[in-house]
Every structure is written in C-alpha cells, then in structure tokens.
Amino acid sequence: MDPQQDPNGKSAPDWGVYANARIPGGILEHLRKGEPWVFRDGMCNLAELCERLPQGGWVRLTTDGRRGKPGGLALFDAENAISLRVLDTSRALVAPRSLLRQRLALAHRVRAPLLRSGETTAVRAVHGEGDRLPGLTADYYDGLLVYRPDCGAWLPYLQEASNALGEHLPIRAVYLQYGGDKKWIAGTLSLPHDFQENGHRFGVHPALGQKSGFFLDMRPNRAHVERISHGLRVLNVFAYTGAFTVYALRGGAARVVNVDSARAALEAAKRHVGLAGHPVDDDDFIVADAFEYLETMAKVGATDRGAYDLIILDPPSFAHSRKSVPKALEAYVRLNTLALQRLGRGQYLATASCSSRVSPAQFAEAVARAARDARRRLRLLYAHHAGEDHPVAVGSGLEPYLKFHHYLVE
C-alpha cells in the first residue's frame, strides 16, 4: 500500500491539524470524563468542516464562542453519524502521528503477555475505544493483521498504524474489512491461515464468516469450558467453526455435538477438530436453526437428566440498534428457556451475549426470566466477559459488550 494513499487509492491527508472543531462546553466536559465520540448534532460548525475536510482529517477541539477554549484532538468524519472520534482532551495539542504510535505501543504492551509463551499467536491487537483509538479495530493472527475500522476516516492512517504495530509484531500481510469491501492491502497469505490459541490450532479466513473470521474475544471462556468438560456430553449451539468444541474435547468431554445454520462454518469446525487430533464424525455436526433444533429435543423434568450435561449457547448479536433491544431480550429469554427445558438437576448451561446494546444486567435478567419460564433454579458458577485484549476504557460510558455465564441447574 502506497503510504501516500489510503486503501482505496485516494490521496491521504497529511498529519497536520487542519481546522478547529467547535463544540459546546458541556460536551467537552463529558469528553474529558472519558466519552469518546461527538455526534453530528453536537457539532457547532459541521457544515464548515464538511466543506474543508470531505475525506476526514485531524481537528482540534475547541469550545464554541468568541473565547473558545482548546479541548484536544479528534478524527473528523464527514460521512458518519459520529462526526468526531476523540483521541485526546489535553489543552495542549498533541501531534496525531506521535499520539497514534504511543497508543499502539501501549496496546501492544497489554497484549504481549498473552503472546509470550507462543501457545497463543492471535490477539485483538487494537480494540477501538478500549485502547482510546475510537473506531479503529484490528485482529492479529500469527503474521496476519486484519483491520475492521468503524469509519472511513481511519483508512488514510492504516499504513502508519501497520508500521507502528510492525515494530512489536511480525506482520506478513494486512487485510481490510470495511463495509462490503474485503481485500488485501499489503502482502498476501494462503487462506485459511493457521494460528494457535492456548495451544489449539485454528484457521482463519477473513473473507468469509463473521467478524475478522474468528471470535478472539471468547478465548478465556473457551478455556473455562475446557476446565469443566471432563466426562460431559456437550451440545454446542451456534457452534460456528467449533472453537468451543475443540476446547471441550481436550478437556475430556465424552462427546460434543455441534449445531449451526451455516454448513461452511461446520466444515471449518470439522477441520479444527481434525487438526486437534480427534476423530471427526459427521453425525456430530448438524446444519439446523438453533431455535428449531432445540424445540425438536425432548423436554425433561427439573429432577431428571437431559441428553446433554452441558449446553453451550453462543449466538450472534440479537440487537443491532437500540430499537431492537426489546426483541433481542425476548430472543435471549426464549433461547435460554428452550435450553433449560432440556437440562435437569446437576447439569449445566453456558450462555453468552455479544450484543453491545444489551447490558450485563439486562442479560442476567433475561436468563433469570428464562429460568422462571422453564421452572428451573440456577446457581451462577462463573461470569466473565472478553479477555484483556478487549479492554474497556473507564469513563467511556461503555460496558463490556460480551457476557458469558456458566450455570448449574439445581
């Protein structure tokens, strides 16, 4: 990729701060408490900036009025509902390139312990707002860097970000996912590209599937499932490419059955099970809708034992907007009710939500409602979120988007 161009071949803005972005003083106070964004309706000179910076660029925050006060550094986006991605709120202006490099160096320092042993070679290298780089997300898979920026304003600066990350990580190729665009922007590698997670071997194909091709955020929760799986019959619902299955099998699970609506994902799951050295039985990989499959299973009484000792529910996000949250919560209630009606005393439910708009408290209440509907009593044994490579910036107003709970049916 030409460092003077963004991945779409457009001339990249330079690293100078072009203009002042004027905002009300009250919004600046919120930003100084840690909030990372300013929306279009919070801008006082949006039209002016859109005319001067149609492709985005760095702007200096100032309060509106004749005696505007300096308020920091932001990345301007003329095309997004979020007009400003705020990186710094110091009164003294920080050079953008220097700040980006500082933030990426600190991000790597957090991830370095995860990579040190060599048993894990894949991490979330940059986690947007959590690393105080709002809108910039990148996953690293043993030499492959996959960018998933939330806005086009970051595109001109990916080369510099890659250079900075390359000082800490061996990068052989860079892939971009932005909107419907998926392409190599530096180097190429054969796909699927293999990497390790806690000693397990997996493959990633960023052009296919969900997120960057693998769910790195579930790493600590997969390790938990490995610890509890010895001798258990496991049903892995929304199995995707079978990562929970591989962990459960190494943990000594008696059997793991996988259910997913995507045949291609289950083919990848079979590959991962084979890479782990376990026999691959086609009967253990079922292409079906998760809700419909659970409904076909026989219900059991609260004091009986179901066909599976552990049911894992790891669905995709059910809430893609604030308006969809009520329907999402009903879906979580229904899904968990179906699972609990197939579990009896002494058996386990592991259930998750990756919907950022559903709070941890809302998810916990949805599971509690499901338990009441299924006439089950639950004991919470483990509650966690994503690993430390998915940090949450204190003061941002954001909560951990991933929720993972492990329950005992009493």
Q: Which residues are paired to 383 by β-bridges?
A: 405
Do 108 and 248 share a structural domain? no
The per-residue pLDDT for range 229-270, each reduced to its tens digit, is 999 999 999 999 999 999 999 999 999 999 999 999 999 999
* Inter-residue contact 248 to 226 (CB < 8 Å): yes
Q: What is the CATH number of the domain that holds 247?
A: 3.40.50.150
Tokens 């699970």 sit on residue: 253
Domain count, the chain: 3
For 71-138, the DSSP string reads: EEEEEE-SSSSEEEEEEE--SSPPPHHHHHHHHHHHHHHHHHHHHTTSS--EEEEEEGGGGT-TT-EE
Q: Name the pLDDT band for 339 (thresholds 50, 70, 90).
A: very high
Do 252 and 400 share a structural domain? yes
Residue 226 in tokens? 């490995």
Residue 152 belongs to some domain of the structure: yes
For residues 368 and 67, what is the distance between their CA atoms, to the nearest angstrom?
Answer: 53
Q: What is the CATH number of the domain that holds 200?
A: 3.30.750.80
Do 290 and 148 share a structural domain? no
For the whole model, what pTM was predicted? 0.92
8 pLDDT more than 70: no
Do 337 and 263 share a structural domain? yes
Q: In the listed set 92, 115, 137, which residue is the last one of a domain according to the structure?
A: 92
For residues 224 and 405, what is the distance between their CA atoms, to the nearest angstrom?
Answer: 11
Q: Name the pLDDT band for 5 (thresholds 50, 70, 90).
A: low
Residue 7 belongs to some domain of the structure: no
Q: What pLDDT sits at residue 209?
A: 75
3 pLDDT more than 50: no
Do 136 and 77 share a structural domain? no
Q: Name the pLDDT band for 10 (thresholds 50, 70, 90).
A: low
Return the biggest CA–CA distance within the chain.
74
324 pLDDT more than 90: no
Q: Which residues are paired to 204 by β-bridges?
A: 193
Residue 165 belongs to some domain of the structure: yes
Centroid of chain to Cα 275: 25
Residue 174 in tokens? 């860079």
The per-residue pLDDT for range 202-234, each reduced to its tens digit, is 999 999 878 888 999 999 999 999 999 999 999
Q: Which domain holds residue 141?
A: 97-204
